[in-house]
Structure 1
Amino acid sequence: MGETPGKTETERRDVGGMGVGDDDDRWAQLPPELLPLIYRRLPDSADFVRFRAACRAWRDAAPESDPPSQLPWALERRGSAFQTRLHSRFYSPSSGRTYSARGHGGRSWLVVDGVCQGHVVSMVDLSRTVLCNPLTGDRLALPPAPYPQWRHGVVHVVADGRGGGDGEEGSCLVVNTSTRTRHFGYCRPGDTKWSMVDGRQDMCHRAYHGGRFYVNTDAHETLVIDASTGAVESVLPPPGRPPGATACGDYLVESCGKLLRAILFPRDGVVAASAQDYYLNVYQLEPAPDGKCSWAKVETIGDRALFFDKHGHGMSLEPNDAAELRQNCVYFMHEKRTWVDAGEYRFLCRYSMENGEVDRVVSLPDTFGDTWLVPGLCPSE
């Protein structure tokens, strides 16, 4: 509809006394120093994308490389592993929302279980795998898988290789583990083949730190493996455990240049009926005077938060209270099965290092909780 003849500019203003475009101008003129304080407290990446879309000034103040810290998103698992999937759905426990991202039309959209830094691993067909960023559509080809995924039930994990001290800072590390033999291989984007580590069959959870893999064994020892040669350099004895306690989870993760080990125990020493029945002991790798290393128990992880999935893979995160991501806390998974309806329920739990209690439990949708992703907005280099 056209404007009414004779109306002045003042008369065309709204009831609040502002012109049609003045409201947008007011938001754009917020002091630049306030904008980072706002967007860094947003609950998840979707809100960050909306923030950047508000106006040019907000987009310039919020670079894609600086998204707010948040809890990882859980990826939905559904249908056959060989089913073509045009879309993937993600659940954000911080905001309680579910998001959908378009897939890449492969035979299998996803064959990854674990925690991922910005990317997931997609199987295009039975022999080709690619590293995908579901938010940007970015894809990087990986070498042919070292194990036959469709027979061995291979678990792909995308780990953060930063802080390795070997000139690889900022690169991501893809670890491919055979669930049958427990051997594993690793590569980085651009590699033409996998570097294999296959000397033993008692390997469990692992972390990459300082050019080495640290791998827990069935006997709770930790193998120190040179990543370039695959040779076992040393074997660390297990940390001390409470008398009679049986561990429910044993995790390794690098945090701020330090290697941490978190062991989950039931409070009664035998079984945990609920999430509140768990407690965690956290250990840090410390050098000894004789040049050897050992695990030393710590009572705090400082201003960081640790996150672990049910497979023993983990990451260190920067706190953000708005996203329920709090410092000096450890996030872990608890599963509960019921015989009545043959159901399996998943819960994301937060353990406070300050008071030794599980102070938050988030129930997850039925088909979420095996694969976790920290959304990344920047294309891979």
Structure 2
Amino acid sequence: MDTTVDWSNLPVELWPLIGDKLKIWIEFLRFRSVCHSWRSCLPRFNPSILPKFPFPYSDGPNAFVSENTVYLLRNPSTSSPSPSSRGWLVKVEESDKLRLRNPITSRRIRYANDSSFLEAFNLLDFNMTELSKSYVLRYIHGSGSVCGLNKVIIVPPDFNDCAIIVICDKGMLSFAKNGDQKLTLISHGGFVCDDIIVYKGQPYVVDSLGSVFRIDSSFKVVELLCKLVGLGGRRKHLVESCGELYVVDRYFEQEPNKQEDSGVDFPLSFLVFGLRGRRERFESRDPKAVEFKVYKLDLLDEEGGRWIEVKSLGDQAFFLAMDCSFSVLAQEVAGCKGNCIYFTDQNDLNLALREVTRPESSVFNLEDHSIQRLGSSQIFCPLASGD
């Protein structure tokens, strides 16, 4: 029995009603790709501005959240992965317009018109799987991303109608609700936050010593009672893979000073140093990674658990991007190797988004502990070769 449906024959009056319900760019573009009639009934994608938030050194909600999504894009014509049928990674930023970015470094991939480029894909010919979401704050007036922030997450809907939690410079943890005039510091005993992630509907934070904390719905910090052994690196990353929570411990060739490695101290630094000076200052002191260790957090309950060191990731590969971390099944991505960690040594997302620096990507092999430059790779969208 033929179950194929000719969607182009739906009643004309239903087209705009369906289109009005589409809020995600990929759904919008798939709708427009059905036929000329469907495309003509909707304008080009113009994502709405998300709620407004404050940022450090400001009074009033002067920023909005810009969303980034990493997708696995692949041809659905083959049922099983093979070297010729593997997909590739693409990262899309949705703000005032659509932008393509490098999935690891977040550096802009430029075309004459990003939106036109994206719509040139017939998305019905591809499967697009969402791998990860990340967020940055952008100025409402002017351009560019907000300085002074190391990480931004949107809290789960069960916590608040609309709120963000941010890791500021120096590893301070703060939150803000839509329309707040200032960020509110989250009291946490003075530890230095390295990373934050939403795992199983709750925010989790890891500090510079490897202790993991859960943030409850009242924005209170609850430390998990885990026995920490061997976490000697100086930067921690939280990664979710196959439903499990991991901490990746990064070791540097030289021990960074946490007080100096966390970014600008005050916004006037842009005036004092200028973008060129700030770029040279960061590039000259970014420590190089020489080793990684991986630990899986075995949560016994909401208040406690234990660490298990992981010697091999199997066919999984971890990506430590500037604004988020995620994992993929290596055999599904062209040029990707399992049991490896893909990363960048640059740690200032603001500079990458402003295109002040040209961060590079590297890959660490967990089997032989080697590190190699990634260079030009099949991992990323082949039509998006810029970096």
**TM-score category, normalised to shorter length:** 0.3 to 0.5
More helix by share: 2
Query: What is the TM-score with the length of structure 1 in the denominator?
Result: 0.47
Query: What is the TM-score with the length of structure 2 in the denominator?
Result: 0.46
Computing the radius of gyration from Cα coordinates, the structure with the larger value is 1
